[in-house]
Chains A and B, each alone.
Chain A
Amino acid sequence: MRVLRLLALLAGLCWLFTPLAVAAPAVTVEPNTINVGIDFTGAQTTVKGTVPEGAQVIIKASAPGHPIGLSKKGRVGGLWMTVESVTVDGMPGFYQVLTSAELSAMPPEVVREAGVDPDFAALTAMARVTAKHEEQTVVLEAAAAEDYARGLIDINRQKGLYSIREGAVSVNGDRFEAVLDIPAAVPRGDIKIEVLAVGPDGTVSALEPQVLKVASIGLVKGLGEMARTNPVAYGLLAVAIALTTGLVIANLFKYLQKLIFKDEGVSAHH
Chain B
Amino acid sequence: MEIYLPIAGMPVNVFLILGLGALVGVLSGLFGVGGGFLLTPLLIFAGIPPAVAAASDTNQIVAASASGALAHKRLGNVDVKMGIIYLIGGVLGGTAGAQLVRVLRGVGNYDVTMKIVYVIMLTLVGGFMLIESINALRGKKKEADPNKPSAFKRFVQRLPLQTDFKVSGVRTSIIFVVGLGFVVGVLAALLGVGGGFITMPAMIYLLGMPTIVAIGTDLFQIVFTSMNVTIQQAIANHTVDVVLAILLFCGSTIGAQFGARFSKRFRGEQLRIILAAIVLCVMAKLVFDLVTTPESLITLTAGKGGH
A binding-site residues for B, Cβ under 8 Å:
36-42, 66-74, 78-82, 85, 87, 93, 147-148, 150-152, 154-155, 184-185, 187-188, 216, 219-220, 222-224, 227-228, 231-232, 234-239, 241-243, 245-247, 249-251, 253, 257, 266-270
Contacts and interface: CB of A to CB of B under 8 A. Distances in A.
B256 interface: yes
Contact of B234 (A39, A40, A188, A234): A234
15 contacts: A66-B306, A69-B108, A70-B299, A79-B291, A147-B298, A185-B9, A223-B7, A235-B231, A237-B242, A243-B63, A246-B64, A257-B257, A266-B29, A266-B261, A269-B32
Interface of B: 2-4, 6-7, 9-11, 28-29, 32, 59-60, 62-68, 70-72, 106-109, 112, 116, 215, 219, 227, 230-235, 238, 240, 242-243, 245-246, 249-250, 253, 256-257, 260-261, 290-294, 296-301, 303-307
A151 B60 contact: no
Given A80-B290, A235-B231, A235-B233, A266 B260 contact: yes
A267 B68 contact: yes
B245 A242 contact: yes
Given A227-B240, A266-B257, A78 B291 contact: yes
Given A184-B4, A243-B66, A247-B67, A66 B297 contact: no
Contacts of B256: 268
A70 B300 contact: yes
Nearest to B254: A253
Contacts of B298: 70-73, 147-148, 150-152, 154-155
Given A71-B301, A155-B300, A227 B250 contact: no
Given A78-B291, A82-B108, A269-B32, A242 B60 contact: yes
B301 to A, nearest CB: 3
A238 B256 CA distance: 22
Contacts of B233: 235
Contacts of A239: 59, 62, 227, 230-231
Contacts of B2: 39, 41
A82 B240 CA distance: 24
B231 A236 contact: yes
A81 B71 CA distance: 44
Given A39-B4, A70-B299, A227-B238, A246 B62 contact: yes
Most chain-A CB neighbours within 10 Å: which of B6, B11, B245, B304? B6
Contact of A68 (B246, B250, B293, B305): B305
A80 B64 contact: no
A38 B6 contact: yes
Given A219-B6, A246-B63, 8 more contacts: A68-B305, A69-B108, A72-B297, A82-B112, A235-B234, A236-B231, A245-B246, A253-B257
A242 B300 contact: no
Given A66-B306, A93-B307, A268-B28, A40 B296 contact: no
Contacts of B9: 185, 224
A240 B279 CA distance: 31
B6 A223 contact: yes
Contacts of B67: 246-247, 250-251
A269 B4 contact: no
A255 to B, nearest CB: 12
Nearest to A241: B242
Given A232-B231, A268-B29, A268-B256, A79 B112 contact: yes
B249 A245 contact: yes
Given A70-B300, A184-B11, A239-B59, A40 B4 contact: yes
